[in-house]
DNA sequence: GTCTGGACTTGACGCTTGTCAAGTGTCTTG
DNA sequence: CAAGACACTTGACAAGCGTCAAGTCCAGAC
């Protein structure tokens, strides 16, 4: 049962579609799938990469401690994502750790065989270019948020982006708020207050892990620039 | 200053070395080189990409305004860098603007021909993968800085990284401090204070645009975390 | 049922940092 | 030489946000 399910999931990934049957089969040779519980660590900041991780289900976060006391969540990824290829490609130590957030099925591809495939399978290189391009844009957006928007604006911006993916007005949070707070570059307390502010403004309504956008217009205003005085 | 000079510069780029004579010649077909003064805008946030920009000399910054009143500098790039390939690859609007910081010679490659070459020249795709991987790491380091380090720590961290590139102890700033401040995610005033603090701590000595590291140990203390240089 | 632990909220407080404003120095311009 | 422009510094001040601490709510254990 596990094998069937895993293979099906592998097939559904964007990577599989992009590189085709043969290359995917080659990548799978020597790879293993694992079902991991929350808090499992896939790889650790500062260590040399030995595997490439393909997320088949669940959610995984890139977490950085960087020598300081607390941790930052850089980004979280869901099914279909190929994790932290840069470290593998360059054979350099990871800059972040990979942590399972919700029970996740992970395909682990040996780094050496991934690098070899990258060199002699043009389709793989081409697919990786596209993936990296998309990931780059995620980070750029995030840096823009961090450098020129205040905490409540960042939340509003994030909500709009998450919403953009699905056309509904209800957003089911897939991660604890603590994780989202750190992803947004703020403390959990500040996230609480930012959420309260958006409710106050009539932009959203929150019930536990479900956020309903009741005023898309108000939400866009809050994301824009007018949050809490001080132009 | 004419064709010779430009061709020589093109040859010296990492890209040229990676993809070889033939592919580089193909990319150059239809491309034009331009010598641009400071404040010249290569491309603008929100517009569709029409060119890929290869920096041959000088320095170029990626700047974002993101709808808010002030601007943030995302990153600056020098000779050999290929700018904002992601937008071109994905045919999506730029997330940032490209602005010349110090007089720069730029090779402009038509986006369409770059995309075509990317599809049928494996060497190019492979080279782009490596470049994107290095750029990804720059952004990751930056996000870590922004999320878990205070302003003076970010400066110390940045100094150590800039220093890592060359083995000396003197750092000649290639950009006005105002630009560096925005790259570090702080106001020019805060940068001034951060510099003063590092001098106070006996870590550096500043004379105009030259920063001398007089206490590498003290500087590392101030950075307060591990620095993983290399690209 | 009560107890306990975890996720989240709320309040109080202080540090960091951005903003506004004035001051210094240098380079250019008339 | 004076006037202006510009880059940077310094000081005063308030806002934003993180931290500490308490409080609420809820699920699971017993």
Taking only the tens place, the pLDDT of each residue in A14-58 is 999 999 999 999 999 999 999 999 999 999 999 999 999 999 999
Phi/psi of residue A50, nearest 5 degrees: -120, -15
Q: Are A212 and A204 in contact (CB under 8 A)?
A: yes
pLDDT over 60 (residue B99): yes
Using a CB-CB cut-off of 8 Å, the residues of chain A touching B85 are 133
In terms of DSSP H, where are the helices of B29-110?
Answer: 85-90
Domain ranges of chain B: 3-146, 150-223
Cα of B174 to nearest chain A Cα, Å: 22
Q: Which CATH architecture has domain A150-224?
A: Orthogonal Bundle (1.10)
- Domain A2-146 class in CATH: mainly beta
pLDDT over 80 (residue B166): no
Of A72, A87, A133, the CB nearest to B90: A133
Distance CA A62, CA A78 (A): 11
Cα–Cα distances (Å) from A94 to A116, B63, B134, in that order, read 19, 27, 12
Lowest mean pLDDT among A54-58, B70-74, B165-169: B165-169
∠ CA(A226), CA(A139), CA(B144), 5° rounding?
A: 95
Q: CA-based diameter of chain B, in Å?
A: 56
CATH topology of domain B150-223: Arc Repressor Mutant, subunit A (1.10.10)
Q: Which residues pair with B207 in a beta bridge?
A: B210
Cβ within 8 Å, pair A134-B86: yes
Cα of A179 to nearest chain B Cα, Å: 13
Distance CA A141, CA A153 (A): 13
Q: Are B213 and B159 in contact (CB under 8 A)?
A: yes
Q: Which residues pair with B59 in a beta bridge?
A: B102
Average pLDDT, chain A: 92
- pLDDT score recorded for residue B69: 75
Of B74, B136, B143, the CB nearest to A132: B136
- pLDDT score recorded for residue A165: 61
- pLDDT score recorded for residue B5: 82
Cα of B66 to nearest chain A Cα, Å: 7
Residues 55-84 of A with CB under 7 A from strand C: none
Which of 3.30.230.10, 2.40.30.30, 2.60.120.10, 3.40.50.1970 is the CATH number of B3-146?
2.60.120.10
pLDDT-derived band at A66 (thresholds 50, 70, 90) equals: confident
Would you say how long chain A is, in residues? 231
Q: Which is more confidently placed, A23 or B225?
A: A23
Cβ within 8 Å, pair A141-B65: no
Cβ within 8 Å, pair A139-B143: yes
Structure tokens at A13: 């990934």
Residue with tokens 């960087």: A66
Q: Is A159 helix (H, G, I), strand (E, B) or coil?
A: helix
The pLDDT tens digits for A70-116 are 899 999 999 999 998 899 999 999 999 999 999 999 999 999 999 99
């Amino acid at each position: 049962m596990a094998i069937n399910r895993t293979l099906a999931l592998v097939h559904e990934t964007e990577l599989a579609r992009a590189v085709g049957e043969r290359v995917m089969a080659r990548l799978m040779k020597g790879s293993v799938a694992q079902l991991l519980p929350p808090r499992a660590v896939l790889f650790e900041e500062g260590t040399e990469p030995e595997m490439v991780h393909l997320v088949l289900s669940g959610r995984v976060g890139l977490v950085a401690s960087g020598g300081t006391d607390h941790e930052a969540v850089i980004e979280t990824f869901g099914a279909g994502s190929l994790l932290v290829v840069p470290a593998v490609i360059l054979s350099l130590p990871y800059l972040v750790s990979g942590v399972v957030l919700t029970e996740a099925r992970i395909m682990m591809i040996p780094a050496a065989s991934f690098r070899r495939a990258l060199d002699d399978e043009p389709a793989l290189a081409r697919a990786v270019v596209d993936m990296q391009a998309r990931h780059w844009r995620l980070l750029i957006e995030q840096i823009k948020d961090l450098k020129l928007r205040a905490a409540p604006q960042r939340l509003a911006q994030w909500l709009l982006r998450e919403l953009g993916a699905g056309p509904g007005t209800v957003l089911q949070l897939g991660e604890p708020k603590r994780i989202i707070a750190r992803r947004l570059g703020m403390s959990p307390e500040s996230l609480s207050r930012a959420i309260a502010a958006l409710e106050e403004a009539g932009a959203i309504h929150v019930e536990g892990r479900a956020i309903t956008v009741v005023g898309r217009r108000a939400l866009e205003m809050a994301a824009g620039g007018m949050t809490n005085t001080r132009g």
